[in-house]
Structure 1
Amino acid sequence: MANTVSWSREPASLAEYGEDGISQWNNVSLRYRIPLRGFFSKRVKDAAEVDDLVQEVFLHLIRRARGGPIEHVEQYVFQVAANALRDWGRRRQVRDQDAHESFDEEIHQPVTDISPERVLLGKEAINLVTAVLRGLPERTRDVFVLRALEKRKYAEIAVMIGISVRAAEKHMAKALAQLGGAMERAGGRD
C-alpha cells in the first residue's frame, strides 16, 4: 500500500482528509510535511530548527482541531507556519541567539589547570588595579569607571561630570597611563 495521497482538488476542510482523526492527521502530515519543510528551509539555516518548526505547526493544528473543524486547511497550515516562523524569529532576537557560539569540545576545553600560583597572581593584579584606582584623583577615577566599566561615551561623561569632552578624554588617558605604568612595574619584579 502506498503512502501517497492524491486528490483531484485540494480538500477544503480537515474532515475531507479522512474518515477518522488518525487518518485525517496522517493524510495532513503526508500532504504538508514536505511543503512545510520547503517553506521553512528557505527562511531558516539550521535543519534541526526546520524540523522543530514543522513539528510546531502540526502540534498547533492538533490543538486547534480539538476546538472544532478546520476549514481551508492549506491556507490555515501556511498561516500557522508564518506565525510559527515569526514567533521563532522573535524568540531568537530576544535571546540574541546569533551572538552565541555553539559548544565544541575541542575549542572549549575546561579550565582545570588553575594553579595556586595563578590564583595568587590574579589576586595580586586585582589588588594592584584597586590600589592604582584609589590613588587617582576623584575626577580621573570617576571618568575611568564611567568609561571602562559602565561603557559610557565621552560626551555623556562630560555632561555628567560637568567638564569638556576633551577633558574627559585626558582624564581617561591619565588613568590608563597610571594603570599601565603600575602593571609594567609589577611585571618587572618577576
Structure 2
Amino acid sequence: MADKDIRALFLAHRRELQAYLTRKVRDGETAAELTQEAFLRYAQQGPGAAAVVHPRSYLYRTAHNLAVDHVRRQRRERTDPVPVDDMEGVADERPSPERVAGGLSDVAAARDALLELPERTRQVFVLTRIDGLTYGDVARRLQISDSSVQKHLARAVKHVMQRLRGRQAGSLE
C-alpha cells in the first residue's frame, strides 16, 4: 500500500478508532498507542498478504484484538492493594531468630564432632558429603579401597549423629 493511501486512511479513521479504543480500555493514552499499533499493522502487510478489501473493518478488528490483549495483560499484571490488617493472617515462613541460632549451633556442634575424628575418616566425610565425590573417586584420591571409604564414612556419620543426639538430649534436661 502506498504511503499516500495509508496517510489518507489514517486521517479518515484515526479519531473514530481512537474514540472506540478509549471506550474499550478507558485510557486515552493507551488508546492512542493502540490506534497507532493498528495502523502500523495495516501498513506492515507484505506483498504476499491477501489484499484488504475493507480497510476500516480491518482496522476495527485489529484495534479490538489489541484492546482485548491489553486488558488481559493488565489483569494478569494487576496486584490489588491489601490492607495491612489483612496481612496479619499470612504466615511468616522465615525461621525465627531462635531457630537460626539453633541451626548455627548445630552446625558448630557437627563441625566439632568432625574435628574429633581421625584425619582419614574426616577426609572421607568431607570428600563424600561436602565435596560430593563418589566412593570410587574418594578411594582413588586417598588410595584406599571402596569398602574402606564406606567404613570411614559410616564411622564419621555415626560419630556426628551420636554427638548431635547427645547434645539434644542434654538441652531437653
> In which range does the TM-score fall when normalised by the shorter chain?
0.3 to 0.5
TM-score w.r.t. structure 2 length?
0.48
Q: Of Structure 1 and Structure 2, which has the larger fraction of its residues in helix?
A: 2
